[in-house]
Amino acid sequence: MAKISAIIPAAGSGKRMGGDRSKQYLSIGGRPILVETLMVFNESPHIDEIILVSPPDDIDLMEGLLKKYDLAKVSKIVKGGKERQDSISNALHALDRESGIVLIHDGVRPFIDDEIIRELIDAVNRYGAAIAAVPVKDTVKKVLQDSISATVPRENLWLAQTPQAFSARIIIDAYTNAREKGIRGTDDASLVEAMGLDVKVVMGSYENIKITTPEDLLFAEAIKRERAKGKSI
C-alpha cells in the first residue's frame, strides 16, 4: 500500500514577528510552535513519514528538537531554499519512493486537527488534489490608490489554508512544470492549477491560523488555553 508523506516547511526567517528568533521556535503552551505542529502529524495514524524543511544553519537545532520530543516519524531533514517553492522542491526530491500521497503543511500552523488530515487524504484518493480552506467572513473591497474601486462578492471567496494534499505524481509533475516554465505560485495548489487540473476544497478551521505576527501569537495562546479546557475559540 502506498505511503502517505507530510512535508513541513519551516525554513522561513519570520521577519514580521520581530525579535531575534525565527517564529517557528517561539513557544506556545511551553513548546515551540514547530514542535506543536509536528506532533499532530507524528501522532496521526494516517501519516507514514514526515519530511522537515529547515534553515540550512539550523539542522543541528532541528535534530535536537526531534530527539527531545520523540518525533520519530520525521524521516529526513532537508535544507530550505531561497523561497518557499524552492524548499518544497527540495523536500519532494527526498520523498520515500513508495509515497503515494503528499500533504504540505506550514510549520507555523499548529492547530490543524487529524480529522481535516483524514478528509484531505480521502479527497486525494477520489480526486487527486485538495486543500483545506474556509469561507471569507468579512466584506472584501478592491482598493486602488487608497480608494475603494469595487466591493467584491464574497459568496465564492475562500481563504486557502494548509494542509494542501496531492497524489505524489501530481505534485511532482506540478513542480517540474513550474520549474520548466518559470512559474512562481502563491501556494502549492496554484502550481497544480497551472497545469489545468482541478483542486477540491475541504472545509478547514478558523482556528487553523498561521502564526506570523505578534498578534497571531496572542491568538494562538488563547486557542491553546481553550483547547486545554476542551473548548474552541
Q: What is the CATH number of the domain that holds 91?
A: 3.90.550.10
Mean pLDDT of 31-52: 98
- Per-residue pLDDT of 167-209, as tens digits, reads 999 999 999 999 999 999 999 999 999 999 999 999 999 999 9
State how beta strands 99-104 and 158-167 pair. antiparallel
**Residue 42 within any structural domain of the chain:** yes
**Residue 71 within any structural domain of the chain:** yes
**Residue 233 within any structural domain of the chain:** no
DSSP class of residue 206 equals T
**Residue 169 within any structural domain of the chain:** yes
Residues whose CB is less than 8 angstroms from the CB of residue 6 and which lie 6 or more positions away in sequence, other chains included: 41, 47, 49, 50, 51, 102, 103, 104, 105, 163
**Residue 19 within any structural domain of the chain:** yes
Residue 57 neighbours by CB distance under 10 Å: 8
Calculate what percentage of the chain has a pLDDT beyond 70: 96
Q: Which pLDDT value is given to residue 41?
A: 98
**Residue 105 within any structural domain of the chain:** yes
Over the chain, what is the mean pLDDT? 95
Q: With 60 as the cut, is the pLDDT of residue 16 above it?
A: no
Q: With 90 as the cut, is the pLDDT of residue 12 above it?
A: no
Q: What pLDDT band is residue 20 in, cutting at 50, 70 and 90?
A: low
Q: Which of 14-23, 112-121, 130-139, 169-178 has the lowest mean pLDDT?
A: 14-23
Mean pLDDT of 132-138: 97
State how beta strands 200-203 and 140-144 pair. unpaired
Name 167's bridge partners. Answer: 101
**Residue 62 within any structural domain of the chain:** yes
Q: Which pLDDT value is given to residue 1?
A: 76
Residues whose CB is less than 8 angstroms from the CB of residue 98 and which lie 6 or more positions away in sequence, other chains included: 2, 3
Q: Which domain holds residue 77?
A: 3-228
Total of domains in the chain: 1
**Residue 185 within any structural domain of the chain:** yes
Q: How far apart are CA 118 and CA 191, in angstroms?
A: 23
Question: Is the dihedral angle over the CA atoms 153, 155, 159, 160 positive or is it negative?
Answer: negative
